[in-house]
Structure 1
Amino acid sequence: MSHITELAYLGVNTTNLSEWEKFAVDLLGLQLAKKTGQQLLLRMDEKAYRWIIQLDDSKGHAFTGFACQDESALKSLVQNLRDHNITVLEGDANLAAERQVEHIYTTLDPLGNCVELVCGLKDADTPFQSKVLRSPFVTGQGGAGHQVLVEQGVDRKKIMDWYGLLGFKLTDVIDQEMAPGIVASVAFLHCNGRHHSLALANMPIPMKMHHFMIEVSDMSDVGLAFDRCMDAGCEFEMTLGMHPNDQMFSFYVRTPSLFSIEFGWGGLVIDEKTWQVQHLEQLSSWGHRPGHVVAEKLSMTSQH
């Protein structure tokens, strides 16, 4: 069965393009590819873009682009979705040109999120160049990174079955008791060697996407980005720490569109043929303390 091979790009809504440009380019190290009065195109690698930031009355996740290997695989995947009574619309030449892909189809997942299925994401005419990074982002066969969607009360099996039609497979599950009787549950799914390109979170938060992870290839870049975000007065959702499942060393910083960016290094690459699903009870091995809690502790320390 044909399936997607990577999370290719992300679409984001914002009410302030200038704020997003400064955050993405000056703090995170993405490259501005194109800027209009309505959107920003941002690069992470040799591709024409990986991020579309579009001006809108709302803030947050707008759409996700998943890529197939070629046109034949894309058409086969679309037909399979339609055979399962899922509505899939073919995008016209204008949308394909705007997204800089060869072919594009659009659909909605069970959460109501817009999903774009594409092939042939084009390369840029010039090499990728960051203003601040020492090392390149980790993309390639692993795609742009990973996203964590909030389940919003929808049955997890229904969501997993839908994404299973795209080719996603379960990597592992973490169920952590945050307080007596309150459990945060996250299912992690892969579509290539990246430990997960998608995760589903059962958390009581009013947003479509909890965070999007971008990965660098030098650990120092994580520390340098952390310092840049701190100096800029950004809101940290979680401080430096490490996850036990994908072994990512990272921090979480709030974006101008309210969801967070996990900025990480050292993510696990799995062998899909031999991987065994794991069940864990801890979201972080160490660190990843809530930013406001750390700020309060530092404030109390300074008063003594």
Structure 2
Amino acid sequence: MDKKNVRTEQGQTVAAQDSVFNRVRMGYAVIESREAKAWQLLLGKALGMQADVLPDGAVAARMDDHARRLIVVPGPSEDLQALGLELADEHALAIVLRRLDQRGIAVRESTAAAAQQRGVRHYWHFTGPKGLAIELYYQPSLVNTPPRMATSGFVTGDKGFGHVAMSTRRPEQMKQFWREIFDLRHTDDVHYTISGVPLLFEFMRLNERHHSIAFVYTPKIRLDPIRTRIQHLEVQAATLDDLSAAWERCRELGLAVAMSVGQHANDKAISFYVQTPSGFEIEFGWNPVVVDEASWQPAVWDRISTWGHHFEGQSLGGRLGQLGRSVASLLRKEYVPAGF
């Protein structure tokens, strides 16, 4: 346990062992891509967000009163570049910064231009697991006018914009990092076999949202068939009508649907998955359970979904590509900050 105190800019003394659980949430995601038009089509016309092209060529998507939730910046990686984590206040930020400092993880403060692009006053960033930039802030830029959207709204607020799911070959170190730095809690597990490969899914939460991060890994020989840092990110629709309308728009626009509409067994969310221009997926979900901290007990499920969620559109070439990446991953190092 951390035992030292840290003094904030205002002179407050903060006990470093204070928990930041329920004081941190998914704030924004930054994707690097050369496919700005395709991303604007997906986020705007298909999923119903307000998706605007900025003067620097980036695409900025609004879902609520925050100036930014998803940002697509020009670049070649076709991957998630950064994850913005919103802290409840300066007190919570100080705790996290102290924990990083105690573990020797270098943290830098953003430039004014970078913060403006993210839609925050300032942020502090460091390199997290899988080489993902993690950006910390507590002062988002808010917009008084409601976003122009083709949907009634999204569930965000103190739960954040949604969740991310990532495959890993180093699950123990990955979980240790998120628990020690952000007080991540275990929600439940799914043990399931896909195409003959046994997989373990662990669902973890930063707040009462059923899960903010999900980890998936193979139990014995550690393989990773996913090219990108995440397998998917999720946003939560306000109503079932919003979900069904987005599903129809994706089909009408000819977008690649990865999984059809279905209901997950563990969090009860009804959702579908659409392929993004960068290769990972977006889950568009509705009505997952909310965790009651006083009574919640983790469970183990033997299926991902109770109905639906049928895989669509994966060719033989796609399956062979995943197999090749799985084998190649045995020779590829997966970054985790030192000390984890």
Superposition map of 1:23-42 within 5 A:
23-33=42-52, 35-42=54-61
Moved over 3 A (4+): none
The TM-score, its normalising length taken from structure 2, stands at 0.81
1:1-304 → structure 2 map (5 Å cutoff): 1-3=18-20, 4-33=23-52, 35-130=54-149, 132-133=150-151, 135-151=152-168, 153=169, 155-164=170-179, 165-180=181-196, 182-202=197-217, 204-292=225-313
Give structure 1 stretches of 5+ with no counterpart.
295-304
Gaps of 5+ in 2: 1-17, 218-223, 316-340
Q: In 2, distance between residues paired with 1:36 and 1:200?
A: 36
- RMSD over aligned Cα atoms: 1.8
Q: Distance in 1 between matches of 2:96 and 2:275?
A: 35
* Residue 291 of structure 1: how far off its partner (Å): 0.9
* Kept after mapping to 2: 8 A contact 1:150/1:207: no
Name the CA shift for 1:92/1:274 in 2 (closer, same or farther; >3 Å). farther
What is aligned with 2:319? none
8 A Cα contact 1:148 1:199, kept in partner: yes
Query: Which digits, 9 at most, give the CA deviation of each residue in 1:258-292, with x for residues without a partner?
Result: 11111111111111343212111111111100113
Q: How many Å apart are 1:167 and its aligned residue?
A: 2.1
Q: How much does 1:107 deviate?
A: 1.2
Number of residue equivalences: 289
Q: Identity across aligned pairs (percent)?
A: 29
SS of equivalent residue, structure 1 residue 61: strand
Distance 1:247 1:15 in 2: 35
**Alpha-carbon distance between aligned partners in 1 of 2:264 and 2:37, rounded to the nearest angstrom:** 32
Between the aligned partners of 2:186 and 2:140, the Cα distance in structure 1 is 26
Q: Residue in 1 aligned with 2:6?
A: none
- Could you tell me how far apart the structure 1 residues matched to 2:138 and 2:177 are? 20
**In 1, Cα distance between equivalents of 2:293 and 2:172:** 21
AA at the equivalent of 2:194:
M
